[in-house]
Amino acid sequence: MNTLIHVLIFLPITGLLISLILPKKNETFLSWNSFLVAGSQLVAAVLATFIWITGSHSTYDIRELTVFKSSGYDFYLDFYFDEITSVYLLIGALMTFVITWFSRYYLHRENGYKRFFNVISLFYVGYNITILSGNLETLFVGWEILGISSFLLIAFYRDRYLPVKNAVKVFSIYRIGDVGIIIAMWLSHHLWTSNVSFGNLENTELVHEHLMHHSVTGFFISLMLFISAAAKSAQLPFSSWLPRAMEGPTPSSAIFYGSLAVHIGPFLLLRTFPFWEHQISVRWMFAVLGLSTSVMATLTARVQSSIKSQIAYSSIAQIGLIFVEIALGIEWIALIHIAGNAFLRTYQLLISPSIVSYKIKLSNYQVISKQPVQHRAWTHRWEQTLYMLSLKEWNLDSFLYRRLWNPLKKLGSRWSFLTFKNVYVVFGVICLIGFFLLLKRSIINPVLLPYLPEVFAILGLLMVIKSFTERASVRLSWSLLITNHIALAIAISFNESVVFSHLVLYLSGVFVSGLVGHISIQLLRNHGEWVSLDRFYGHSYDHPKLAAVFFLSAIGIAGFPITPTFIGEDLLFFHIGERQAFLAFLVGMSLILNGLSSIRIFARIFLGPHVKNYHSAAKRSA
Amino acid sequence: MKIKNGNSEYSQLLNRLKHYLPAQAPLKDFIHHNTLHSFQDLPFSEGIIKAARIFGYTVLLSKAEYQRYYQNGQINKEILIQHIKTKKGEKWEDWFSLLLDCKIKERALPRIGSLRSNWKNSYQIDLDSLVHPILFRVVSSYLDQGIALWNFPYNEAGFIASIRELEKVSKISFFRSERARKLLLNEEDVLDEVIQILIGDKQLVERYFFDQQFAHSGWSGMVSTVEDHPRFLTNHREISLRDFILFECLLEIDALDDQFGEIWSPIAIKASLIAVELFDDVQPDEEEECLLLWHEAFELSYYHQVVEALSMASKKVKSESLHSFQALFCIDDRECSMRRHLETVDPLCETFGTPGFFNVPIFYQPSGSSLLTKLCPAPVTPKHLIKEINASVQNSQEIHFNKHAHGLFAGWVITHTVGFFSAIKLVLSVFWPRKNASSVASFDHCAADSKLSVDYEGSDNQTQLQVGFTLTEMAGRVEGLLRSIGLTDKFAKFIFCVAHGSSSVNNTHFAGYDCGACSGRPGSVNARVIAEMANNTEVRILLRQRGIDIPDSTLFVAALHDTSRDEIEFYSPENIDQLQKGMFEQHKRSFRIALELNANERSRRFESISFNGNASKVHRKVKRRTVSLFEPRPELNHATNALAIVGGRHLTKNVFLDRRAFLNSYDYEKDTDGSTLNSILSAVAPVCGGINLEYFFSRVDNNQLGAGTKLPHNVIGLIGVANGTDGDLRTGLPSQMIEVHDPLRLCVIVEQIPDKIAVILDQNEVLKDWFKNEWIHLLAIHPVTSQFYWYQKGQFEVFKPLPLEGWDISELESHLYTYSENIPVTHLN
């Protein structure tokens, strides 16, 4: 069984690696590769399930290699197999198997055929790591891959405006979910005082004992998990991203947003169920939010005049009910529901173009004669109000912009004295002050000392806000991402326990990515290209390779699991004390915005309608 | 408060705007038309360049693409040089080197959008991104034809009235600020006031409205089309472009108020002076002239091939022997190869081409339906109604389109049950595709066992149309058809009227695949009606009186050719005797063999089908494409069309035209007064020209004039497609339909004495403009001298083809089922 679990992890990774090196023009190789990988995975999944059922029914918890270890800190990979894994594994393998075959023909002759199969493979890697994960750290690896592959798939038609805009929008919501997990990880470090696996959670007594003394921490961990799950599964208040994610080719929308990606939220809740099982208030919260989402989404689905958004909202409504089921603790009903919903919505999306001929044929024979319904005035008023609300999607789409991003923009615009020329000088001064204070820690008034981490974290946060809201200089924005990380590192250094090597680990990825990013921007400028952040420039049209390199550096600086910074971020939180909630909040916000800003820079420079008009390009509204 | 455009001061402006907006009907009534029809009053080369400068369209291929055609020989060097010499004279060498130059030049910004760009430049506000999502959402909910389960509260008085009523009743507003809301609730016409607030200068109104509407020309075009043709919508919705613009302006005011309060100044204050008017004349620059030269040489290279091959064609001969059968096909380019194969299978048969509605313009009412379907070319309005009686209709249902799947609790039940059934269906439909409820099948258009009300029954109560045809009308219809194709004697025992339609699945543009002469429907009903008329003994008596003697032993049989599946359905007449039955079966066999060959020939363009000599297996694969959910190309439709040949079959019978020609039969000898040719050309120019130019422009600018790739398309309100959820409606053809198309203007070749054609054109200005302005070309082949004449600037001039090296027959035979590119025009003996 252990071998089988390894196969289930490594098969998709091998598929991705092969896909990356296959020649671009060879459609047959590319699609067969994905198809065979998905097929083998399906066989392995069936086999694993069979062994699990006929065997002991016991859960498998395999502790894998330790990636990084130091006193009190142990970042290890862990894999896990139980009925939840099995259901998700089967759904995922079956859907991917079918969809790769479907896309093999559907995508024929499309620009980006290879890119499509690469992204599907990447997604599949992320999906399998997530569902087979045995601890939050491993889950987070898969979780990040899911987010980034989602971004790439929504922006598949990278030369049009709306796909890119929506990709960034969806990514920003995913990012909130990501940090939900990071903070949950931080809190659970302090709760357990060590890294725990999901297997440990099965130990009811252990969980109960810890929660007895730390009920507030427990509640917050659950809340963070819930935010992550809600963001990933388009629950309130994040729902409006799902219809907007339907920008890629229909089969990819079907598999991502019809079946697999949207059901990762329920997975997270199912996985951590033993943890919050005894927190009644948490269960109530999940159920109420799930049910409200269901009602809201059902109403919204009813007024949708486009087929894909209708299916999206119907799916959100069912996922809301799944949340309720999970909160009620009826796991098996929830699992059946998840599978049914995934299959139904995938098929509905795949046949969605047929609705035109189908409905027209039908309406030929059934003309609906509508009798005007008499309403009492007040019911009429309420009905129309509900209609209007649903038509405007309950203002959810503008909610995040008005409440979160716009205030940030206002804040960022105050820092206009910063330019690329002086940013390193300004920052150098801050750094020197920081180092000085660090070295002379002893002479600082002990009353002030506890506030210093917060001060530097605030400085870091302001930098990243400026970076996020910068409208002109790419290099300034990029530099601020680097300095943000350094500021965070200084901030954490004021805590006694920090080990220098941890900071090196954290910053090494930042430096390398930052440098590669700067070089890429410089190369682009050397080509005589104008770059700025005031619009999308679409330079991937002329410079696809540079775009790929810069993309790697952008996700590297954002702490994606390709550099040590990924572990470093977790370490950073490890060093934040249990009582430094505000500091944790600041660092969390910094990391959200840092990732968002780096992806924004990438999107603005390389994606969207090409700034040069020597070839035909779609309208902005198209 | 809907004010008719006629009596408002903006009516002229709005009419001009409507003229330039895309004129594409809702999906179910999709009909090909010239995408740039609004520039058709100018000569082609001027019109397209003007369109490019004003709207930023790409109107020709890129230089690099022409250079590629030049390298692979599709543009002939000799012809290119000759053409540059005629156009540029002495300086031809400079131009020649310019043409081969590889430098990429950026183009100037289009004129459209320059006024409204001031919002972004001077006010730092991205109005479109604030306004478009809600605007599209409201208008699509309003016009929705059956996707939403909860409809927009509709008020007969129109768009603004409905919106106002909702705004009044609802506790929440469309707007964020107060001023826009007050303006909407004002029952008076507030357009003037709105213009004052937003634009501030009456001079700029037209410019502003053009900028605003062309930022989302898909929706504006749809609104404008629905306003002019309300019958396109089954569920009637009153809307006008004026209302639509008013609402958009209100949303803009709201967005600006929300950002700046009510103190911002109208755009006229901040707009810098605009140097050129939108519609000022343009002069082509050097780059554009190069492209035009390239393009004309590209066309000429092909026309020379065609003329060369046709001039070698046999003269018309009077054959004495009787034909085994005669078959009337649609002029559609897809029937070009079918006819060739049929004639190969049965060399004694004779085929004709005529517009696929077979001269019977009708409305059709399927059994059990209360709706009418128009079956004739788009501009014609039929006066007759044909009802289908006693059809055994079986409409299978598709649970996945059921509204309960979107309910909360019903949805809960459905996901737990049907959800698993979906998984099975999904696997089956991907690995073993077959026809199901979601596919479109041409044979479903009219049930084979039903009866049609062809005989006169007086007028219909509901529609006031005449049900059926009187005997005189029938005789007139049949006579008209037979005379137009020159079939007035030597009738064979069987005359097949072969209509065509197409089957596909997951195809939102299905109407564009059916018969263009039947308003985007299969032509089976028309074929059945004409066959029944021609078989009527009393009609034959009348025809005899008019000089057309159809022997009693001749039988007309209707049939429907499914062009994507290459299958045929015959609608057998009732009184058919034993002897005839045997022959009938034999002919049916000929058709089936020809269909298989045709499917094999078509398969050479499909990369997923490799020809292996097993014809029936290839045919099976071709059929499978039409029911596969994942197949975006059930057939390639009119792609590669380039010719329309009006003349006898003897011209084309021995020429391999690679399915690129519309073929209309015409006998120059029998058309003494030219009236037949006049009516043929009056149909060929707009129908074939429309198809040709839509393919042309969708190919050269698939992003703006075409619909882009269809893979991410999302169906909106059953009337159109958009990318994703927030996008504008996409007009034109998706890239999958046009990617193999070579953008060549249609070349109409007519077998008639040039002077006679000139007379006809001089009497028909509308028709003449098509050719004179060169949106399509006209060539005449002199029936006696076999000399070719090209119609240029209103004159026929002798056209001498250059002898080009083409393929010979053996090369053709070895490539016919495998070569995926265009095959040059080849002589068949």
Here the tokens at position A141 are: 């690896």
Contact criterion met (CB < 8 Å) for B715 and A306 = yes
Here the tokens at position B492 are: 């064979």
Q: Are B747 and B644 in contact (CB under 8 A)?
A: yes
Residue A104 located in a structural domain: yes
Using the CB atoms, write b or e for A398-429: b if 16+ within 10 Å: bbbeeeebeebeeebeebeebebeebeeebee
Which of the listed residues A358, A373, A398 is the one where a domain comes to its end? A358
Report which of B612, B568, B572, B570 is spatially closest to residue B593, judged by C-alpha positions.
B568
Q: Are A288 and A280 in contact (CB under 8 A)?
A: no
B contacts of A169 (beta carbons < 8 Å): none
The sign one gets for the Cα dihedral A500, A505, A510, A511 is positive
Who contacts B320 (Cβ-Cβ below 8 Å, separation ≥6)?
Answer: none
Q: Are B546 and B474 in contact (CB under 8 A)?
A: no
Contact criterion met (CB < 8 Å) for A387 and B723 = no
**Cis status, amide bond into A446, omega within 30 of 0:** no
Burial of B286 (0-12, 13-18, 19+ CB in 10 A): exposed
**Closest partner CB to A385 (pick from B172, B438, B704):** B172
pLDDT band at A514 (very low <50, low <70, confident <90, very high): very high
Nearest chain A residue to B52, by CA: A616
Instruction: Look up the pTM and report it.
Output: 0.94
Q: Are residues A322 and A424 in the same domain?
A: no
**pLDDT given for residue A365 in this prediction:** 59
Q: Are residues A318 and A444 in the same domain?
A: no
Residue spans of beta strands (DSSP E) within B161-302: none
Nearest chain A residue to B218, by CA: A622
For residue A116, report the phi and psi dihedrals to the nearest 5 degrees: -60, -50
Q: Are residues A138 and A241 in the same domain?
A: yes
Q: Are B327 and B350 in contact (CB under 8 A)?
A: yes
CA distances from A284 to A216, A236, A281, A330 (A): 16, 15, 5, 14
B contacts of A101 (beta carbons < 8 Å): 430-431, 630
Is the model more confident about B22 or about A578?
B22
Here the tokens at position A188 are: 């659970």
Helix B471-485 × helix B537-545 angle, to 10°: 60
Lookup result for tokens 């950026």: B106
Residue A584 located in a structural domain: yes
Distance CA B61, CA B54 (A): 18
Count the residues in chain A. Answer: 622
A contacts of B438 (beta carbons < 8 Å): 351, 354-355, 357-358
Does B775 have pLDDT greater than 60?
yes
Is the model more confident about A203 or about B296?
B296
Residue A409 located in a structural domain: no
Contact criterion met (CB < 8 Å) for A355 and B58 = no
Residue spans of beta strands (DSSP E) within B485-565: 494-501, 504-505, 555-562
DSSP B285-296: -HHHHHHHHHHH
The sign one gets for the Cα dihedral A504, A505, A507, A511 is positive
Contact criterion met (CB < 8 Å) for A619 and B703 = yes
Q: Are residues A75 and A212 in the same domain?
A: yes
**pLDDT given for residue A233 in this prediction:** 94
Please state the separation of Cα B648 from the chain's center in Å. 26
pLDDT band at B322 (very low <50, low <70, confident <90, very high): confident
Count the residues in chain B. Answer: 829
**Closest partner CB to B711 (pick from A107, A362, A367):** A107
Q: Are A131 and A96 in contact (CB under 8 A)?
A: no
**pLDDT given for residue B394 in this prediction:** 63
User: What count of other Cβ atoms lies within 10 Å of the Cβ of residue B324?
Assistant: 17
Burial of B281 (0-12, 13-18, 19+ CB in 10 A): exposed
Contact criterion met (CB < 8 Å) for B730 and A622 = yes
* Domains of chain A: total: 2
Helix B159-169 × helix B127-143 angle, to 10°: 100
Report which of B555, B444, B457, B571 is spatially closest to residue B503, judged by C-alpha positions.
B444
B contacts of A102 (beta carbons < 8 Å): 430, 629-630
- Cα of A606 to nearest chain B Cα, Å: 19
Contact criterion met (CB < 8 Å) for A343 and B419 = yes
Distance CA B488, CA B481 (A): 10
Which of the listed residues A343, A358, A373 is the one where a domain comes to its end? A358
Q: Which H or E element spans position B797?
A: strand B795-798
pLDDT band at B318 (very low <50, low <70, confident <90, very high): low
Question: In chain A, helix, strand, coil percent, each to 5?
Answer: 75, 5, 20
Residue B556 zone, left/alpha/beta (φ > 0; ψ -120 to 50; rest) = beta
**Closest partner CB to A244 (pick from B406, B725, B739):** B725
Q: Are residues A108 and A188 in the same domain?
A: yes
**pLDDT given for residue A495 in this prediction:** 81
Report which of B506, B607, B513, B489 is spatially closest to residue B564, judged by C-alpha positions.
B513
Report which of B498, B455, B497 is spatially closest to residue B473, judged by C-alpha positions.
B455
Residue A513 located in a structural domain: yes
**pLDDT given for residue A302 in this prediction:** 93
- By DSSP bridging, strand B494-501 and strand B326-330 are parallel
Contact criterion met (CB < 8 Å) for B132 and A108 = no
A contacts of B724 (beta carbons < 8 Å): 162-163, 166, 244, 246-247, 308
Per-residue pLDDT tens for B95-129? 999 999 888 888 888 999 989 999 988 888 999 99
Distance CA B106, CA B122 (A): 25
Who contacts A5 (Cβ-Cβ below 8 Å, separation ≥6)?
Answer: A48, A60, A62, A79, A81, A132
**Closest partner CB to B723 (pick from A101, A247, A613):** A247
Q: Are A325 and A333 in contact (CB under 8 A)?
A: yes
Nearest chain A residue to B423, by CA: A343
**Mean pLDDT of all residues in B551-567:** 94
Nearest chain B residue to A111, by CA: B709
Q: H/E/C letters for each residue in A557-609? A: HCCCCCCCHHHHHHHHHHCCCCCCHHHHHHHHHHHHHHHHHHHHHHHHHHCCC
Residue B352's SS3 state is strand
Nearest chain B residue to A367, by CA: B370
Does A373 have pLDDT greater than 60?
no
Contact criterion met (CB < 8 Å) for B169 and A381 = yes
Q: Are residues A226 and A334 in the same domain?
A: yes
Is the model more confident about B775 or about B461?
B775
B contacts of A243 (beta carbons < 8 Å): 725
Nearest chain A residue to B704, by CA: A618
Contact criterion met (CB < 8 Å) for A388 and B419 = no
- Cα of B109 to nearest chain A Cα, Å: 8
Here the tokens at position B114 are: 């320059």
Of A123-132, A159-168, A299-308, B573-582, the range with the lowest mean pLDDT is B573-582
Q: Are residues A460 and A347 in the same domain?
A: no
- Cα of B446 to nearest chain A Cα, Å: 12
Report which of B344, B184, B207, B359 is spatially closest to residue B254, judged by C-alpha positions.
B184
Contact criterion met (CB < 8 Å) for A388 and B506 = no
**pLDDT given for residue A375 in this prediction:** 62
Does B3 have pLDDT greater than 80?
no
Q: Are residues A564 and A435 in the same domain?
A: yes
Of A475-489, A502-516, B201-215, B601-615, the range with the lowest mean pLDDT is B601-615
Contact criterion met (CB < 8 Å) for A364 and B703 = no
Of A491-505, B480-494, B504-518, the range with the lowest mean pLDDT is A491-505
Helix A581-606 × helix A544-557 angle, to 10°: 180
Chain-wide mean pLDDT for chain A?
A: 88
Contact criterion met (CB < 8 Å) for A619 and B215 = yes
**pLDDT given for residue B4 in this prediction:** 45
Residue A92 located in a structural domain: yes
Q: Are residues A207 and A343 in the same domain?
A: yes
Who contacts B400 (Cβ-Cβ below 8 Å, separation ≥6)?
Answer: A344, A347, A348, A351, B418, B422, B438
B contacts of A106 (beta carbons < 8 Å): 630-632, 711
Q: Are B385 and B444 in contact (CB under 8 A)?
A: no
Q: Are residues A240 and A92 in the same domain?
A: yes
User: What count of other Cβ atoms lies within 10 Å of the Cβ of residue A383?
Assistant: 16
Residue-range definition of the domain harbouring residue A527: 416-606
**Closest partner CB to A244 (pick from B169, B444, B726):** B726
Residue A159 located in a structural domain: yes
For residue B797, report the phi and psi dihedrals to the nearest 5 degrees: -125, 150
**Closest partner CB to A351 (pick from B173, B400, B420):** B400
Per-residue pLDDT tens for B396-423? 778 888 888 888 888 888 888 888 989 9
**Closest partner CB to B107 (pick from A318, A336, A613):** A613
DSSP designation for A26: -
Lookup result for tokens 């090409």: A610
**pLDDT given for residue B1 in this prediction:** 38
**Mean pLDDT of all residues in B65-77:** 93
Q: Are residues A421 and A345 in the same domain?
A: no
Residue A541 located in a structural domain: yes
Does A65 have pLDDT greater than 90?
no
Of A476-480, B443-447, B611-615, B814-818, the range with the lowest mean pLDDT is B611-615
Q: Are residues A6 and A90 in the same domain?
A: yes
**Closest partner CB to A246 (pick from B406, B506, B714):** B714
Distance CA B53, CA B57 (A): 7
